Amino acid sequence: MTSPLAIIAGVGPGVGAAVGRRFAKGGFRVAMIARDANHLAAIAAPILASGGMAAPYCADLSDHDAVSGVIARIIADHGRPTVLVWNAAVWDETPAPELEPAAFDRQLRLGLTGALTAIRAAAPAMKAGGAGTVLLTGGGLALAPQYGGAVPALTAVKSALRGFVHASSPAFAAQGLRLGTVTIADQVAPGTAFDPDRIAEAFWALHSEETPKVEQVFDGT
């Protein structure tokens, strides 16, 4: 029997890599998407060394055509996904009065509307298999946006993402897809309460629990 497939979109050295490792540990084949091939190879190496499957794919996740294309390639190469994780975002400290609309739009594509593109690309295969889980990485600034003045675009993205998940999860559930978000309530830092590997356990729990939950707020406990 072929092991299930998880697609992790937006794989950096922190949360994305940790989520990939956690799902590989749980018996998943993992397809990882980011822009840098060398960096993806380095993240895939320990999974491969432990006997898991980790396939790297390069794509610009702010480009809708690139997102649709890379999801289609992964499905063609590895079959239907059971899990899709969207972890793409950027930390940009441009003050709100200086934000260029084009730059703001790119951040929205990267952090939110690209996720919708990925879901639409993966959903037919997920539904054909009877079920699927889609998890989006949220941020604590969505819970307290008044503290997000240093990163206004990211605050807007994470606030919109949280709203989208809560508003949309019933409609996705009606189609057999579990939509949820892990809201990370502080900055990620290895060796702290917000260590990426601890956060990855929240993603695993949100996928694995029998009673679906829309949001897991990871507060370091």
Confidence check: pLDDT of 211 > 90: no
d(CA 136, CA 214): 10
Q: Which residue has the tokens 């960096």?
A: 39
pLDDT for 210 equals 86
pLDDT above 90 for 188: yes
**Per-residue pLDDT tens over the stretch 73-102:** 999 999 999 999 999 999 999 999 999 999
Residue 129's pLDDT is what? 85
Say yes or no to pLDDT of 2 above 90: no
What pLDDT is stored for residue 148 in this prediction?
95
Question: What pLDDT shows up at residue 158?
Answer: 97
Tens of pLDDT, residue by residue over 134-149, are 999 999 999 999 999 9
Summarize the confidence of residues 95-124 as an average pLDDT: 96
pLDDT band at 1 (very low <50, low <70, confident <90, very high): low
pLDDT for 212 equals 82
SS (H, E, C) 186-214: CCCCCCCCCCHHHHHHHHHHHHHCCCCCC
Q: Is the pLDDT of residue 21 over 70?
A: yes
Would you say residue 182 has pLDDT above 70? yes
Q: Which residues of 81-93 are buried (b: 16+ CB within 10 A; e: fewer)?
A: bbbbbbbbbeebe
Question: Of 213, 146, 148, 154, whose CA–CA distance to 179 is shortest?
Answer: 213
Q: Which residue has the tokens 């260590």?
A: 195
- Residue 65 makes CB contacts below 8 A (sequence gap 6+) with none
pLDDT digits (tens, 9 = 90+) for 31-67: 999 999 999 999 999 999 999 999 999 999 999 999 9
Token reading at 114: 């690209």
Mean pLDDT value across the chain: 95
